Chain A
């Protein structure tokens, strides 16, 4: 390895068996390798950066993978061809012949053939490279009579690649990488992870810097040719780092990162990418059958969300609906973190009742807004620890309000008045207490009759219901909640010679048949007490006056009137509730306030313009919110819908969430583990579906995708899985192991290895023995860690104490032992004597 051949006047100088093109140049073979590596990588990466935003073919994993593989084989063929040629005194430019496969590959990619015929394209590229190499080897089959001398072109390439390996340049690059990384962490603190990934860590220039650093390191390594035995550790580190660079490039080019949110019972086939978002504009139409048809008019990846410092961007998308004047959707706000704000006002057009209160948790020192309205939200649960209450808003007549806040049991008998059309009572019937213990739906039978004085009309009460079903479509008299008189009613039969009529007398509402032709009206006078679960707060709108009822756990009811600004007299010392406003014509307006730059609750605002004029009300969208990420508007006769979501990527299989499960720490609501039970369907591997569980430490790995249990949403019925695909890891893991190994050799074995080399040289052992001894040293140190690494890689995931002990022995103790052994063995007494001689 170390002895150089004597240079003859005709043959070029050689260093370590390779042509030496002079001082300050790299040997041609190394120079070509580095030069073509740089060019080839540029050919892959530049189009990738140009097309990655819109997801063009040059940014697709398939093409990048095809080009990367053909590049690797072409460089290898080129190297073999050049080595073969130059060792026989021919020109190392035969490198180009071996590298010809790359030109074929690029041509196939430009024509798009690689996508249509992937296998054939790969074969064609490899075959070309193979043929080129064979030609190089055949041409240099016999030694040249006139040995090749490096020309100016070769020397130029050698000089440039030699310069790349300058250590000052390398250290400068390292300093730059360090400084930029540090700057990136502060940029992230201001603008968030998404922004820094786009602006720094995934930018073309940072990737380029990283690659140039790797290239510089490779060149610096070749500058040391011919290598000495004790440099094996250093070579190992640099080989590992080169592999690491390649792996990182693969991660950057081919990796994907995102998340998928699945509700219990629903299915996911795509993931939402973390790095890019997508705008979709659809036209929505009802077809004659009442089905909603949507016609997609725009799918685009916007850029307004990439620079969070710009809060007021202008990004315009022109929509061209069929048979309609085109219009523009203009995004004019982007907030990395927006706070959703709902303004409740009394400016609505229709009657809609609402009440707004401030709830203060005295001990926790926190105040929340409690908003109830009579349409959307039936109830809200509030509270913490042992203080919990549910709140409702409902309209009710005075009789019902009384039944809600009544503190004494229901009074019996109830009375049914039969009145004439003017309301004068003609006859009154008593209703006894109904039978208890009835099944749901079953009314209590009655048989009470009376005759209206002066007529032959017989009034018969036939049944009693505590809660007459309000809809009553089938007209049957059903009691939906026997025992809880929330809508007490009596079934009444009026019979005379003229015929028969059946009506219901209701306690809280007007007789539902009062518009009938018969001249009688019915009124049920009951004093029931409605069951209300303990800890329930009811806001009751009693004929236009807002009142409240609170049911205590012990059954007592409190009530009062709602006066904005006055605290409700509740028996909960730790919670105070102060109504702040009552609305009769409630209107809800939405907006977002700017909170920060970091992508957390990302919000955007769009206008709809035609010829620069706003033609529809502008709206807000929120990316992370399943309800706020879609908003519609009407324009002319048509209805459109704009949605803003993470850019989807197809998984290639589907996941259906059957059950989501949380486990808590005792004494708190802090979750300890989350588990998602899913059905996995894969067209080839699991066509019939398979039951799987994804939990904190057991991700799903399939087709290169990995899905992790990350978070959950809502009340624990929605799971959020982190999804990731990173083909670079296949290189990164071994690369880091190699670097680690090399570091040990560099730092702790340099001295014994130097002594070994001197001893071998003193004994005149051939070069090949140096190589074997060097490799032997590295293998010896690395055997334990590599064994452990292989065990992990094949799926023997170490667990618990025994995993730890085994790992410790293999990864820590075994290398230390061999390092200690080497340091003790060299120098031995004899070698010390020989090398000093």
Chain B
């Protein structure tokens, strides 16, 4: 049976491979992938650029292209991009633009719950009178006054305009000859970047105005034309040679500022997809680990540890690569911090497993790591995975590179403690408190809180030092730092309660569940519900008239309900076992 699971998992991993469904699917895109593009403040390979834009439009990391008469088929983002660019008439009719909220769909007159309403075409939007009227109205309103669906409608417009830029459909492109419409900003201007001045790259249409010598301009234009012709004629050989010539011709334009080796490295990194692989390995680890615990089987235990360690290796390599490519630590946004915190969680779990010899650590750690990775990878519209640049205050500062890893590293053991507390409570519902496995889980959750509190305290202080250096104050009661303190106080209260005998295993578990909730709010809630210095740009909309409760997503309610159910069930069972008296807490000191 385990074999079957392994086979199924491997099949899942392998099925991530894209299957084109377009005649050009077999083309060699390797030269085009490494073509440098300047977009979003950063030099990136065409591959990454195409991924960013296609993800932004479709809302999917591996987009599925609608195929008439059958299920949508997965397609390489770069292929999809090229197809849109050179086949604009198909692009404008294709239902690829995401409309994410049912409310926004209703506003455009679509059925809110139908699968077909999830994605619409460029032509649909330009021809939809109601959408255009709303759009014109929303344009006049400040961003802060928009509700969730209105914000989504603006997002749809942004997606539509992006598609229009790729395929050359937006107003303004009609004056440009067909073969030069749309496309990426891969053409550098003749002037080199000057410190203190804005600097942009253009599309192929801008090239003739950039003032390069005619032979250089012509070489690029000719290669571009050949590339387009080869694409349309489905001529793989001609395409490969044209792509090579294009890259060389662009290179001779002599732009500086980017490093080709970093661009190539990013292409390799994107192809390797380490975080996705790591999440599958962690899943395998969880399954084997549960088997090992349930049947107390040493072989399964070893088999469970191995995939986690390999996954962690993949994960760490991915972190190192991404850090090297972005030339900064992974601290920019919630996507990066989730990837980082999941790696630290698994690492700490593996270390604790080795140190304290309890099999629970690995299962819980791998579970947390897998969930965090999945959350990061499955929400590209909410957490774009593309590498971005940092706000000025975050750059070149020694302390941020210490503060963020330490604080994030503290989340890992505290989250482990919270999950272990849940495990304890669930087990308590079915087993007596004296059961050895319950004792073990209770013991290890108290152990793991200690390094968590120390790290959290250190992280808060390091954050204070950093804030002191960049914002000019050590402690300012900013929501994020206040909630960090609250989380620490919750765990400190639990520790004191245990020391004075006020709380025993049951009370400590409930306390750690509360600490976990506070941690989740510190990590996630503060950034999205409370505006402050730590809000991630763009996500912290303080829409007028939208109450805090309306901003809470469904999964958070689910989390709260599940926690209440777990605690209630354990409380009822433990009271029943003790003849109506809770085993500790306020009942018995």
Which chain A residues have a beta carbon within 8 Å of chain B's beta carbons? 167, 170-171, 174-175, 177-178, 181-182, 184-186, 188-189, 193, 196-197, 201, 248, 251, 257, 360, 362-367, 385-386, 573-574, 595-596, 598, 661-674, 696-697, 699, 706-708, 710, 722-724, 726, 729, 732-733, 736, 739-740, 743-744, 747-748, 797-800, 803-804, 807
Which residues of B are found within 8 Å of A668, using beta-carbon distances? 40-41, 198, 200
Which residues of A are found within 8 Å of B43, using beta-carbon distances? 666
Q: Determine whether the beta carbon of A740 is less than 8 Å from that of B41.
A: no
Residue in contact with B389 in the complex, picked from A670, A723, A740, CB distance below 8 Å: A670
Q: List 22 A-B contacts (CB under 8 A).
A: A174-B496, A181-B489, A186-B548, A189-B531, A189-B542, A193-B478, A193-B532, A363-B172, A573-B172, A574-B170, A664-B196, A668-B198, A670-B41, A672-B389, A696-B393, A696-B470, A697-B469, A723-B472, A732-B464, A736-B457, A736-B464, A804-B398
- Interface members, chain B 446-504 (any A CB < 8 Å): 450-451, 453-454, 457-458, 461, 464-465, 468-479, 482-483, 485-486, 489-490, 492-493, 496-497, 500, 502
Q: Determine whether the beta carbon of A697 is less than 8 Å from that of B397.
A: yes
Most buried by B among A251, A366, A664: A664
- Let me know if B157 is at the binding interface, CB within 8 A: yes
Which residues of B are found within 8 Å of A596, using beta-carbon distances? 542, 544
Give Cα A668–Cα B461 distance, bound, in whole angstroms.
35
Given the interface pairs A665-B389, A667-B41, the reply to whether A182 lies near B483 with Cβ below 8 Å is yes
The closest CB in chain A to the CB of B389 belongs to: A665
Q: Determine whether the beta carbon of A667 is less than 8 Å from that of B201.
A: yes
Which residues of A are found within 8 Å of B473, using beta-carbon distances? 257, 724, 726
Give Cα A355–Cα B302 distance, bound, in whole angstroms.
79
- Let me know if B530 is at the binding interface, CB within 8 A: yes
Q: Interface SS of chain A: helix, strand, loop or mixed?
A: mixed
Q: Determine whether the beta carbon of A664 is less than 8 Å from that of B461.
A: no
Which residues of B are found within 8 Å of A803, using beta-carbon distances? 398
Question: Shortest CB–CB separation between residue A593 and chain B, in angstroms?
Answer: 11
Known: A573-B175, A696-B392. 8 other contacts (CB 8 A): A188-B479, A251-B475, A595-B544, A664-B198, A665-B41, A667-B38, A743-B453, A800-B398
Q: Determine whether the beta carbon of A661 is less than 8 Å from that of B472.
A: no
Contact flags B37-57 to A (C-beta < 8 A → 1, else 0): 011111100000000000000
Which residues of B are found within 8 Å of A708, using beta-carbon distances? 470-472
- Let me know if B257 is at the binding interface, CB within 8 A: yes
Q: Determine whether the beta carbon of A189 is less than 8 Å from that of B200.
A: no
What is the number of contacts between chain A and chain B, taking CB atoms within 8 Å? 187
Given the interface pairs A178-B493, A189-B479, A365-B157, the reply to whether A747 lies near B486 with Cβ below 8 Å is no
Give Cα A732–Cα B542 distance, bound, in whole angstroms.
34
Q: Determine whether the beta carbon of A722 is less than 8 Å from that of B457.
A: no
Q: Determine whether the beta carbon of B477 is less than 8 Å from that of A196.
A: yes
- Interface members, chain B 521-547 (any A CB < 8 Å): 526, 529-532, 542, 544
Which residues of B are found within 8 Å of A666, using beta-carbon distances? 38, 41, 43, 193, 199, 257
The closest CB in chain A to the CB of B138 belongs to: A365
Give Cα A363–Cα B154 distance, bound, in whole angstroms.
12
Give Cα A668–Cα B474 distance, bound, in whole angstroms.
32
Which residues of A are found within 8 Å of B171, using beta-carbon distances? 362-363, 573-574
Which residues of A are found within 8 Å of B389, using beta-carbon distances? 665, 670, 672
- Let me know if B161 is at the binding interface, CB within 8 A: yes
Give Cα A671–Cα B196 distance, bound, in whole angstroms.
9
Question: Shortest CB–CB separation between residue A290 and chain B, in angstroms?
Answer: 42
Q: Determine whether the beta carbon of B472 is less than 8 Å from that of A672.
A: no
Q: Determine whether the beta carbon of B139 is less than 8 Å from that of A367.
A: yes
Which residues of B are found within 8 Å of A724, using beta-carbon distances? 472-473
Q: Determine whether the beta carbon of B489 is less than 8 Å from that of A661.
A: no
Which residues of B are found within 8 Å of A360, using beta-carbon distances? 139
Question: Shortest CB–CB separation between residue A761 and chain B, in angstroms?
Answer: 23
Which residues of A are found within 8 Å of B476, using beta-carbon distances? 193
Q: Determine whether the beta carbon of B42 is less than 8 Å from that of A667.
A: yes
Q: Determine whether the beta carbon of A722 is less than 8 Å from that of B472.
A: yes
Which residues of B are found within 8 Å of A744, using beta-carbon distances? 454
Give Cα A76–Cα B395 distance, bound, in whole angstroms.
46
Give Cα A726–Cα B465 distance, bound, in whole angstroms.
13
Q: Determine whether the beta carbon of B492 is less than 8 Å from that of A174.
A: yes
Give Cα A724–Cα B471 distance, bound, in whole angstroms.
9
Give Cα A157–Cα B500 distance, bound, in whole angstroms.
25
Closest 4 pairs between A and B when the two form their complex, measured CB to CB: A747-B450, A665-B41, A724-B472, A722-B472
User: In the complex, how many residues of chain B place their beta carbon closer than 8 angstroms to a beta carbon of chain A?
Assistant: 82
Which residues of B are found within 8 Å of A740, using beta-carbon distances? 454, 457-458, 461
Residue in contact with A366 in the complex, picked from B39, B139, B257, B477, CB distance below 8 Å: B139
Given the interface pairs A189-B529, A747-B450, the reply to whether A385 lies near B200 with Cβ below 8 Å is yes
Q: Determine whether the beta carbon of A664 is less than 8 Å from that of B482.
A: no
Q: Determine whether the beta carbon of B483 is less than 8 Å from that of A185.
A: yes
Question: Shortest CB–CB separation between residue A335 and chain B, in angstroms?
Answer: 13
Give Cα A707–Cα B478 distance, bound, in whole angstroms.
20
Give Cα A574–Cα B176 distance, bound, in whole angstroms.
14
Which residues of B are found within 8 Å of A664, using beta-carbon distances? 196-199
Which residues of B are found within 8 Å of A197, using beta-carbon distances? 477
Given the interface pairs A178-B490, A674-B392, A696-B395, the reply to whether A669 lies near B477 with Cβ below 8 Å is no
Q: Determine whether the beta carbon of B548 is less than 8 Å from that of A367.
A: no
Give Cα A819–Cα B471 distance, bound, in whole angstroms.
35
Which residues of A are found within 8 Å of B477, using beta-carbon distances? 181, 184, 188, 193, 196-197, 201
Give Cα A182–Cα B42 distance, bound, in whole angstroms.
39
Q: Determine whether the beta carbon of A736 is less than 8 Å from that of B454.
A: no
Question: Shortest CB–CB separation between residue B499 and chain A, in angstroms?
Answer: 9
Q: Determine whether the beta carbon of A181 is less than 8 Å from that of B396.
A: no
Q: Determine whether the beta carbon of A671 is less than 8 Å from that of B139.
A: no
Q: Determine whether the beta carbon of A739 is less than 8 Å from that of B457.
A: yes
Which residues of B are found within 8 Å of A367, using beta-carbon distances? 139-140
- Interface members, chain B 154-202 (any A CB < 8 Å): 154, 157-158, 161, 164-165, 170-172, 174-175, 185, 193, 195-201
The closest CB in chain B to the CB of A174 belongs to: B493
Give Cα A729–Cα B476 distance, bound, in whole angstroms.
13
Q: Determine whether the beta carbon of B471 is less than 8 Å from that of A722.
A: yes
Which residues of A are found within 8 Å of B489, using beta-carbon distances? 174, 177-178, 181
Give Cα A167–Cα B589 distance, bound, in whole angstroms.
13
- Let me know if B121 is at the binding interface, CB within 8 A: no
Residue in contact with A667 in the complex, picked from B39, B174, B497, CB distance below 8 Å: B39
Which residues of B are found within 8 Å of A729, using beta-carbon distances? 468, 474
Given the interface pairs A188-B530, A363-B170, A666-B193, the reply to whether A182 lies near B472 with Cβ below 8 Å is no
- Let me know if B135 is at the binding interface, CB within 8 A: yes
Q: Determine whether the beta carbon of B497 is less than 8 Å from that of A171.
A: yes
- Let me know if B402 is at the binding interface, CB within 8 A: yes
Which residues of B are found within 8 Å of A736, using beta-carbon distances? 457, 461, 464
Given the interface pairs A171-B497, A365-B139, A661-B196, the reply to whether A747 lies near B454 with Cβ below 8 Å is yes
The closest CB in chain B to the CB of A808 belongs to: B402
Question: Shortest CB–CB separation between residue B527 and chain A, in angstroms?
Answer: 12
Which residues of A are found within 8 Å of B482, using beta-carbon distances? 181-182, 184-185
Give Cα A589–Cα B396 distance, bound, in whole angstroms.
47
- Interface members, chain B 314-366 (any A CB < 8 Å): none
Give Cα A175–Cα B511 distance, bound, in whole angstroms.
12
- Let me know if B247 is at the binding interface, CB within 8 A: no
The closest CB in chain A to the CB of B157 belongs to: A365
Q: Determine whether the beta carbon of A667 is less than 8 Å from that of B139.
A: no
- Let me know if B401 is at the binding interface, CB within 8 A: yes
Which residues of A are found within 8 Å of B392, using beta-carbon distances? 671-674, 696
Give Cα A666–Cα B196 distance, bound, in whole angstroms.
10
Give Cα A779–Cα B353 distance, bound, in whole angstroms.
30
The closest CB in chain B to the CB of A799 belongs to: B398
Give Cα A671–Cα B394 distance, bound, in whole angstroms.
12
Give Cα A362–Cα B175 distance, bound, in whole angstroms.
16
Give Cα A706–Cα B468 distance, bound, in whole angstroms.
10
Give Cα A508–Cα B467 distance, bound, in whole angstroms.
63
Given the interface pairs A385-B200, A747-B454, A799-B398, the reply to whether A732 lies near B544 with Cβ below 8 Å is no
Give Cα A726–Cα B467 distance, bound, in whole angstroms.
13
Give Cα A769–Cα B315 distance, bound, in whole angstroms.
50
Which residues of B are found within 8 Å of A798, using beta-carbon distances? 398
